[in-house]
């Protein structure tokens, strides 16, 4: 492996690592040499086993990020069990769908709390550790709706727009302290969160018609971008939102 992309000896926290995008990013980082703290509400047995099969260390960190209560424990457990913390991937997220005229406060709060509030406070907890050691990489998972409005997902759009702004703000504050903060904006990826779209024949056709690559993305399509932003290859990349979208935003 090119030394710029080598993550040997690094420790990465990946939230929402039990399936989909989080699992794919965890495996990509492990393939590049990183040990993985797989964070999730439900056990990440499959992810942990796959990372270990690559010859890397892996631990499961149980955490429900619908509140900020576990953020300190995530950092502490990772450092205690894996010996450090070099990379944070804020992937955990939820979505609620309804017409804006019918959208409930409960659905608004649930999404904002998980997708934005917990992201900030986990960045804060990891950032304190990274600033003390003088280095670190934070990768937030944004969305096409960081750039666009979407339909019937007001709290998700607000949260992912917030993730984009937060990524830039933290880069402004922490870049000179050795901590790179960037984001990946996945396009339309085949995951549990997009099942409703793929099951809707008309919406599925409309989405595919706009994607120049002419297919839904796979979670594994995000692995290379994650390794780049986690590695020394991106040491002069700060506050950037990297779209991995099959060309969606170009059309």
Task: Cite the active site residues.
Answer: 156
Helix (H, G, I), strand (E, B) or coil at 213: coil
- Would you say 32 and 106 are in contact if contact means Cβ atoms under 8 Å apart? no
CA distance 16 to 65: 9
Cα 220 from chain centroid? 13
Longest dimension (CA), the chain: 52
221, two tokens: 């399509």
- Would you say 182 and 139 are in contact if contact means Cβ atoms under 8 Å apart? yes
Which residue from 190, 20, 154 is spatially nearest to 89, judged by alpha carbons? 20
**50-75 core/surface letters (b: 16 or more CB in 10 A; e: else):** bbeeeebbbbbbebebbebebbeebb
Which residue from 215, 245, 225 is spatially nearest to 147, judged by alpha carbons? 245
Locus of tokens 């990509």: 28
């Amino acid at each position: 492996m090119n030394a710029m992309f080598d993550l040997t000896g690094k420790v990465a926290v990946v939230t929402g690592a039990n399936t989909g995008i989080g699992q794919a990013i965890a495996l990509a980082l492990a393939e590049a040499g990183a040990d993985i703290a797989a964070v999730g509400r439900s056990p990440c047995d499959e992810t942990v086993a796959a990372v270990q099969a690559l010859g890397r260390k892996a631990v499961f960190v149980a955490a429900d990020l619908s509140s900020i209560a576990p953020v300190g424990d995530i950092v502490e457990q990772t450092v205690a069990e894996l010996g450090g913390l070099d990379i944070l991937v804020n992937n955990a997220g939820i979505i609620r769908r309804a017409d804006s005229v019918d959208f409930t406060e409960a659905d608004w709060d649930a999404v904002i709390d998980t997708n934005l509030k917990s992201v900030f406070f986990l960045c804060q907890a990891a950032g304190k550790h990274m600033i003390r050691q003088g280095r670190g990489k934070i990768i937030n998972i944004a969305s096409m709706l960081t750039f666009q409005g979407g339909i019937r997902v007001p709290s998700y759009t607000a949260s992912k727009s917030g993730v984009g702004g937060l990524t830039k703000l933290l880069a402004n504050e922490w870049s000179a302290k050795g901590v790179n903060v960037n984001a990946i904006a996945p396009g339309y990826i085949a995951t549990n969160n997009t099942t409703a779209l793929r099951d809707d024949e008309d919406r599925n056709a409309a989405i595919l018609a706009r994607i120049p690559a002419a297919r839904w993305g796979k979670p594994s399509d995000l692995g290379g971008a994650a390794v780049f932003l986690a590695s020394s290859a991106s040491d002069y990349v700060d506050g950037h939102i990297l779209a991995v979208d099959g060309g969606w935003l170009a059309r």
